[in-house]
Amino acid sequence: MNGRGTAFQGALAAGALAIAFMLAQTKQSLGLNEAVVVEAQSSDIQGLKYFDGKRTYIVTSDPANNGDLLVHVSAGDRIVGRGVSEKIPDRDIKGGRLARELWAAFSPLKAQRALGKLSADRLKSLGLADTPRRLTVRVRGIEKTFRLATPPPGAVEPYLMSEDTGVVFVVSRLIMNSFSERALGPDQAHSFPVYEFDRLTITPIGKDPLTFKSVRGEGTDSQLVAQSATKANIASIGSWHNSLFTVPAEDALGKGEVPKTGEPQVQYRLEYWVGRDRQGWMDVATGTAHGQPCLYFRSEQSLGWMIGPAGSANLLDQADSLFKG
C-alpha cells in the first residue's frame, strides 16, 4: 500500500482513539452548567437513530443475545482515501466497543450547557434552522427527536435542539463523530482476553486439527502447549497466535455481504474452549481489498467478514510456513 493509503489508515486509527477519549470524558461530570438532555438508564434505551444528511445509522439492543448491540447502516458513498469514495450497501453489523460506550453515554445524555429557546435568527446562525441532521432516541417506548448542527466557525462542540421543546443544548462532538460503521462496528475478533481459554484447536482447511493447551502464567501471560504432534516451533506458534488474536478490524462487512472481489477463501479455523464450552471461534481467509492483499476474518464478534489493516495478510504467510511447510 502506498504512503497516502497508510497515512489515511493512521488517521482512521487516530480518529477512533479520539472518539474513545470523548466518550470517556462525556461519562465524567461536565461541571456546574451541565444539563440533562435525555434522562434514562441503559436498560431504558431501546434504540438510537442518526441521519447525517446522506446515510442513516440505527443502533438497537438485542435482549436475546445478552443485550448485544446491532447496528444498521443504510447504503451510500463512503470516503476511503483522499479524493476516493466507494459505494457501500445496506449493512447490518454487530456493535463493537465504541458502540457500547456510545450507548452508555445516553444513560443519561448530558449537555455541557442548555441555551434555552432561541430566536429564529439565532437558530439560523447556529445552523439549526435548516440542518438535515437528525438524532432520535427511543426511551421506554417514546421517541425523542433532535436536530444537530455542526459547530460554527470558532466553536468546537455542536449544537443540539429538541424538536419537542425547542430547547437548544451544547453537546459533545462524540454524538456526531461516532456515527459511522467504522466506529460503531466490531473493532477486534474477540471480546475475551487472550489468556481466558484453556484449550485451542487450529485447523488448516483440508488437514487434521492441532490442539493446544493454554497455560496461564503470571499476570496476563499465557503460553501454548502442544497436545498434537507438530514439527513447528511452539514459541513461534504462540507469537503468531497472539498477533492474530489481537489484530484490529479496519472494516466490517454486513451480514451475508460478499466482498466485491468474491467470497474470501477460508484457510484456517480456530476454536477456543473453556472446559466443554466453546468460548469463541475465528475463520481466517485470504482476499483483496482496494487492490491489495488483505486478511479477512470472522468470529463470534461479527455478523460478517472483517478486514484487517495493511500488512495483516502477512499473518497468513506466517501460518502457511508454520502449519503447511
Backbone φ, ψ for residue 287 (5° rounding) = 180, -175
Mark residue 233 as left, alpha or beta (left: phi above 0; alpha: psi -120 to 50; beta: remaining).
beta
Cβ atoms 56, 76 nearer than 8 A: no
Under 8 Å between Cβ of 42 and 102 = no
Q: Checking phi first, is residue 46 left (phi over 0); if not, alpha (psi -120 to 50) or beta?
A: alpha
Tell how far CA 91 is from the center of its chain: 13
Rounded to whole angstroms, the Cα distance separating 180 from 228 reads 44
Given the DSSP bridges, would you call strands 265-274 and 251-252 parallel, antiparallel or unpaired?
Answer: unpaired
DSSP 8-state code for residue 52: -
Higher pLDDT, 180 or 203: 203
SS3 73: strand
By the 8 A CB rule, do 202 and 174 touch?
Answer: no
Mean pLDDT estimate for the chain: 88
Contact status, residue 151 vs residue 28, Cβ threshold 8 Å: no
Interatomic CA distance for residues 119 and 267, integer angstroms: 62
Indicate if the alpha-carbon torsion angle 317, 319, 320, 322 is positive or negative: positive
Q: How far apart are CA 181 and CA 168, in angstroms?
A: 28
Q: Look at the block and give the residue holding cell 493512521.
A: 10
- Is residue 176 within 8 A of residue 151, CB to CB? The reply is no
Candidates 69, 62, 56, 72; CA nearest to 97 is 69
pLDDT (mean) for 275-280: 95
Phi, psi torsion values for 298, nearest 5 degrees: -140, 155
Q: Is the Cα dihedral 242, 246, 249, 250 positive or negative?
A: negative
Check: CB of residue 311 under 8 Å from CB of residue 195.
no
C-alpha cell of residue 181: 460503521
Stated pTM of the model: 0.83
pLDDT tens string 103-149: 999 999 999 999 999 999 999 999 999 999 999 999 999 999 999 99
pLDDT of residue 5: 43
CA angle at residue 19 from 15 to 20, to 5 degrees? 115
Least confident of 1-15, 129-143, 226-240: 1-15
Say whether pLDDT at 161 is over 50. yes
Q: Which pLDDT score, from 0 to 100, does residue 152 have?
A: 81
